[in-house]
Amino acid sequence: MCFPVVEAFRGGPSLIRVVGHRGARGILPENSMIGFEFAMSTGAHLLEFDVVLTGDDVPVITHNHRLHAPTFREPGGLFLQGKEPKVASLTWAEMQAFEIGRIDGTSDYGQRFLDQAQLDGVHVPRLLDLLRLVAQPQYGAAQLMLELKSDPDFAHDADYRKRIVETVVGEVRSTGLSARTLLHSFDWKLLAECQAQAPDIPTSFLTQLPGNADEVGEDTSKSISPDFSGRERQIPDMVREAGGKLWCPYVHDVTPVDIERAKKLGLCIAVWTVNELADIDRMIDLEIDAIVSDYPGRVQRRLSDRGFSWISEAASAGHQSPAEQAATTPAAAKV
Amino acid sequence: MCFPVVEAFRGGPSLIRVVGHRGARGILPENSMIGFEFAMSTGAHLLEFDVVLTGDDVPVITHNHRLHAPTFREPGGLFLQGKEPKVASLTWAEMQAFEIGRIDGTSDYGQRFLDQAQLDGVHVPRLLDLLRLVAQPQYGAAQLMLELKSDPDFAHDADYRKRIVETVVGEVRSTGLSARTLLHSFDWKLLAECQAQAPDIPTSFLTQLPGNADEVGEDTSKSISPDFSGRERQIPDMVREAGGKLWCPYVHDVTPVDIERAKKLGLCIAVWTVNELADIDRMIDLEIDAIVSDYPGRVQRRLSDRGFSWISEAASAGHQSPAEQAATTPAAAKV
């Protein structure tokens, strides 16, 4: 089965895709509508973002399963103090009281993003807000790498998994975007639930090895991800066997041997989060399919210098549907 | 006489303005419509840009008086080869053949902007395109720092000066933007012509000392600027005497003594081009009025960390005209 959305993430000769991580976190507040619009306006049509379920079962776009103190401000304008409340403990209406347009420069997290524009009046979007935006004809090139975030407290609850997948897939279908969406997660049980409920929507498997440190100031993936430490086979084989179409390894885990193996298996390889020039160059040299970055412009700049494109000729001509584009890209010929 | 546009560039207690240089050159192609829209979307409503006259007297937004090889691509997609043609030798229609959405990474100029998104289908805008955009109600906060670029071959031609000022001011007036525009230049003769033709539009005086090097890969200002090397008085006094309302010195020329003097004279001080964190900090410490930067988000980020705002309370409330905003800003009380 050929999935047009998978082909939209697949590279090829002189072609590596650019995926805007949480919109374009280096430039604009993460997981914000203005960030998504910016990424798309610059030709980074492949959007990565994170979905968590509120207490009243509204899928919202935010990274952590608790409100993230370095980016959430209370109504008075101060960054969140004390224990971070869980998204699952708040209603959607309650979440709207918080602003997310600035970053706390006194936090370790804030020190990572020194170029990010600071905005007021920005709130956590619902998944539905983004879906409705990209369903508009002018955003026809947009493709969604929709990351389902598991609350570790519920990760082993099959009913919870069923409910979050039903809710999210329901919204994707209701907006007509199932052919332009990847279901993406660190939680392989959740991905199995996605495959069971929505076999027509391809799954994308995030991995991070236990030996490498987490990114500073973020929820760890390790509590909800498989523990690869005792693995007897290569991760690409495990992803393939689990039914994954994309493999999305952490930038510091990537090895030429694993990339080679993933290519042999026909997996599409998207690497996260690639921000430093040396890492961008390494990914280009490894000929991965897609680079997930907080700085999509920086990746475009480097690709352009090295003679690579990030949009297939057919797509840049702008006269074809995503399915037609997929069928005519040089990369598609490989599959 | 109080000019609302001057007050929109004036800082105050815990208030320093952010001016997007050529839109936001660090993030998006310089002097492009998408760059201007981006800057405004992030709350950098003060736009600096450059105007040159084509051979058929169309004011266009581009920096150099010749097409700039590191950013101009010919119809085949290659960066301009050979001698750069003059803007004054081309018609507006001829200029549309060139694309300006990428930067040549093999050039010294290109090496300065490694995060810039790379776009296709972007062309030199006319001044009128930007004026018509910001005349729309949703861009009511926009204020224009309109730099008039002199072709050195015509700099001593009074008829040329008369014609460029007439044409540009005519377009500003026809779009109803004379109260939101500064006429800004290195060419003091041209600024005198502006004052003669449009005494209601304030003038902004750019300066660069002969001792400091030009920015890499750009037209020098020195051929059309006064030579300050033998000056007997401070530059702020010269600007004031020449009728300037703003003084816009080069970041590497700025001294505390000159800033102090400019403040005493009531000049509004906007410094160009402030991109490095250390320079941003130095400008904050000097309490200048406005920071002109290729990275307006970076400046916002730093101002936010240091407890500064870049939008007056009145303006951020969004319920007042620029004139009302100017009248109620803390800074305006100083004048």
A159 touches chain B (CB under 8 A): no
| Residue B113 clears pLDDT 90, i.e. is over it | yes
Task: Quote the CA–CA distance of B315 and A300 in Å, as a whole number.
Answer: 35
CB A157 within 8 A of CB A123: no
Structure tokens at A272: 């996260």
| Residue A268 clears pLDDT 70, i.e. is over it | yes
Task: Quote the CA–CA distance of A206 and A253 in Å, as a whole number.
Answer: 12
Which residues of chain B neighbour A44 with C-beta distances below 8 Å? Answer: 117
Structure tokens at A34: 């203005």
Average pLDDT over residues A232-260: 97
Lowest-confidence region among A18-22, A48-52, B323-327: B323-327
Q: How confident is the model at residue B327 (pLDDT cuts 50, 70, 90)?
A: very low
Which residues of chain A neighbour B300 with C-beta distances below 8 Å? Answer: 117-118
pLDDT in tens, A80-91: 999 999 999 999
The pLDDT assigned to A322 comes to 38
Residue with token string 């290109």 = B110
B160 touches chain A (CB under 8 A): no
How far are the Cα atoms of A143, A161, A180, A201 from residue A177, in angstroms, in the given order?
9, 21, 5, 10
pLDDT in tens, A116-132: 999 999 999 999 999 99
Share of chain A above pLDDT 70, in %: 93
Residue type at A101? G
Task: Quote the CA–CA distance of A80 and A73 in Å, as a whole number.
Answer: 5
CB pairs under 8 A between A and B: 89
Classify residue A211 by burial, with Cβ atoms within 10 Å: 0-12, 13-18, 19+: exposed
Which residues of chain B neighbour A316 with C-beta distances below 8 Å? Answer: 120
> If you measure CA to CA, which chain B residue comes closest to A27?
B297
Alpha-carbon radius of gyration of chain B = 19
Structure tokens at B85: 């043609």
Structure tokens at A27: 């430039």
User: How far B136 CA lies from chain A's nearest CA (Å)?
Assistant: 20
Angle, CA A204 vertex, CA A124 and CA A130 arms, to 5°: 25
Flag if A300 and B43 touch (Cβ within 8 Å): no
Please count the other Cβ atoms lying within 10 Å of the Cβ belonging to residue A332. 19
Task: Quote the CA–CA distance of A305 and A43 in Å, as a whole number.
Answer: 16
Whole-number average pLDDT of chain A: 92
Which residues of chain B neighbour A43 with C-beta distances below 8 Å? Answer: 117-120
Task: Quote the CA–CA distance of A100 and A72 in Å, as a whole number.
Answer: 5
pLDDT in tens, B178-198: 999 999 999 999 999 999 999
pLDDT in tens, B116-139: 999 999 999 999 999 999 999 999
The pLDDT assigned to B335 comes to 28
Lowest-confidence region among A281-290, B44-53, B153-162: B153-162
Q: How confident is the model at residue B151 (pLDDT cuts 50, 70, 90)?
A: confident
3-state secondary structure of A149: coil
Q: Give the DSSP letter of residue B99.
A: B
pLDDT in tens, B15-74: 999 999 999 999 999 999 999 999 999 999 999 999 999 999 999 999 999 999 999 999
| Residue A243 clears pLDDT 70, i.e. is over it | yes
Per DSSP, the residues of B147-183 read EEPPPTTTTT-HHHHHHHHHHHHHHHHHTT-GGGEEE
A277 touches chain B (CB under 8 A): yes
Residue type at B136? Q
Average pLDDT over residues B4-12: 98
B105 touches chain A (CB under 8 A): yes
Task: Quote the CA–CA distance of B60 and B63 in Å, as a whole number.
Answer: 9
The pLDDT assigned to B147 comes to 98
Task: Quote the CA–CA distance of B58 and B124 in Å, as a whole number.
Answer: 12
| Residue A321 clears pLDDT 70, i.e. is over it | no
Looking only at Cα atoms, what is the longest distance across chain A? 55
Sort strands B143-148 and B46-53 into parallel, antiparallel or unpaired: parallel
The pLDDT assigned to B219 comes to 81
B159 touches chain A (CB under 8 A): no
3-state secondary structure of B207: strand
Which residue, B306, B277, B295, is CA-closest to A105? B306
A197 touches chain B (CB under 8 A): no
CATH number, residue A11:
3.20.20.190
B97 touches chain A (CB under 8 A): no
Residue B251 belongs to domain spanning: 4-334
The 3-state DSSP composition of chain A as helix, strand, coil percent (nearest 5) reads 35, 15, 50
CB B35 within 8 A of CB B171: no
Identify which of A37, A42, A116 has the shortest CB distance to residue B297.
Answer: A116
3-state secondary structure of A310: coil
Instruction: Indicate the number of domains in chain B.
Output: 1
The pLDDT assigned to A314 comes to 56
B247 half-sphere exposure, CB direction, 13 A CA radius: 27
The pLDDT assigned to B326 comes to 36
User: How far A120 CA lies from chain B's nearest CA (Å)?
Assistant: 9
H helix count then E strand count, chain A: 12, 9
Task: Quote the CA–CA distance of A321 and A255 in Å, as a whole number.
Answer: 35
| Residue A196 clears pLDDT 60, i.e. is over it | yes
Average pLDDT over residues B306-328: 58
Q: What is the ipTM of this complex?
A: 0.91
The pLDDT assigned to B124 comes to 98
Share of chain B above pLDDT 90, in %: 84
pLDDT in tens, A225-235: 888 988 999 99
Handedness of CA B99, B104, B110, B114 (dihedral sign): positive
3-state secondary structure of B143: strand
pLDDT in tens, B226-256: 889 889 999 999 999 999 999 999 999 999 9
Q: How confident is the model at residue B314 (pLDDT cuts 50, 70, 90)?
A: low
Question: Which of B115, B275, B306 would you mutate first to test chain A, the one with the most A CBs within 10 A?
Answer: B115
Handedness of CA B149, B155, B159, B162 (dihedral sign): positive
Please count the other Cβ atoms lying within 10 Å of the Cβ belonging to residue A175. 18
| Residue A326 clears pLDDT 80, i.e. is over it | no
Flag if A295 and B44 touch (Cβ within 8 Å): no
Beta bridge partners of B99: B73
For helices A127-134 and A158-174, give the axis angle rounded to 10 degrees: 30
Which residues of chain A neighbour B108 with C-beta distances below 8 Å? Answer: none
